[in-house]
Structure 1
């Protein structure tokens, strides 16, 4: 049953007030209370990169895999924000993240991180988890393909591609049209990415 403290918890998480999060929980707020979009307090904290507030919620047993109306979860959101500190807070949860959980596009956290050029996150998630580097989303793209197709070919995406290849990403895996990451890089005029993909 909802409690009077639930809105206080959600508001505190949204603004990143760790002390207010703790106070709301002490007042009886449900750690899995949800807003109208079905976002939990932990998801709100993750979206705002409020690490201290998230740490309080994880310590209280918040579910790092709880899905909202858009199929986002706290763990999946770390791939969007690229926050390594938040990733590590969630990895330390007693019930750790489900690395196979898919977002509304069928992707796992490393895919949006690769698309956005979140170098530090890609490096950390590849080194510190057993995430599937060759996971294919509903568009038919891996993290490697997404970095090339949706990236800008700049230094951040070059580093992401290098990290994915070093982690064993299959450079020969094509998209649904049979086009490889190398062919996409060549089509887009990304000479540096093409050189990396040729090995």
Structure 2
């Protein structure tokens, strides 16, 4: 059973972050209209097309809007222009990712800030895991993204359908290194509940101890974890 559990965790380490599907090269070549302008980061063309009445929320085969494409392609000014001109920052693409979660997974801090300034909701439940952008960022050890989302009042203790909080994901899907440790520290200092267990009843402290993550253990113990 322990071997099977290990396989499940190893599978999940890859899956949650890789569930996002950015436009392929073939898709990028095939885009027209606002999708193409967004992919190029062509602000002037975006402005012309929207002024001419082009649909800001048109979707591709994976339900990506031009705004999703701009965020996936890291076209910061294009994303800013689309939101300024009325594009919805909280639309979900086919795998239920919004632009805040896409930026969080990409570790794109400037894009995350643009998304928040444009009305993106840091509290949104996204992805097939019923998670949040904060959980996705904690999984990957994107500490600055985590701090930015905390400042934006993202929910600290949301539990996804894997029965994990952001704090737990920083442990069970992390490597115990500096980035994941600083992620856990940011969550603890922000007031995340250090005693919410996973679905099997294991607490964050027990999970960190079982993996030999000494720095995480020290942070949790200092915070009163049991």
Q: Same fold (TM over 0.5)?
A: yes
Deviation, 1:75, is 2.3
Out of 130, 154, 173, the residue aligned to residue 106 of structure 1 is: 130
Q: Is the 8 A contact 1:114 1:157 kept in 2?
A: yes
Out of 84, 108, 132, the residue aligned to residue 83 of structure 1 is: 108
Structure 1 segment 37-56 matched on structure 2, within 5 A: 37-56=62-81
State the match for 1:3 in structure 2: none
Structure 1 segment 42-191 matched on structure 2, within 5 A: 42-93=67-118, 95-97=119-121, 99-127=123-151, 129-191=152-214
Secondary structure of residue in 2 paired with 1:101:
coil
Residue range with higher mean Cα deviation, 79-88 or 112-121: 79-88
Deviation, 1:82, is 2.5
| TM-score, with structure 2 as normaliser | 0.79
Q: Is the 8 A contact 2:184 2:216 kept in 1?
A: yes
Out of 43, 50, 66, the residue aligned to residue 18 of structure 1 is: 43
Secondary structure of residue in 2 paired with 1:70:
coil
Secondary structure of residue in 1 paired with 2:201:
coil
Cα separation, 2, equivalents of 1:70 and 1:134: 23
Cα separation, 2, equivalents of 1:195 and 1:68: 40
Cα separation, 2, equivalents of 1:70 and 1:78: 15
Cα separation, 2, equivalents of 1:18 and 1:149: 41
Cα separation, 1, equivalents of 2:44 and 2:138: 34
| TM-score, with structure 1 as normaliser | 0.90
Q: Is the 8 A contact 1:105 1:138 kept in 2?
A: yes
Secondary structure of residue in 1 paired with 2:102:
helix
Cα separation, 2, equivalents of 1:69 and 1:105: 13
Cα separation, 2, equivalents of 1:160 and 1:96: 22
Describe the superposition over 1:36-75 as per-residue Cα deviations: whole angstroms up to 9, x where unpaired.
1111111111122221110010101111111111111112
Deviation, 1:96, is 4.2
Q: Which runs of 4+ in 1 moved over 3 A?
A: none
Deviation, 1:150, is 0.3
State the match for 1:192 in structure 2: 215
Cα separation, 1, equivalents of 2:127 and 2:104: 10
State the match for 2:19 in structure 1: none
**Structure 2 unaligned residues grouped into runs of 5+:** 1-30
Are 1:9 and 2:38 matched, yes or no? Answer: no
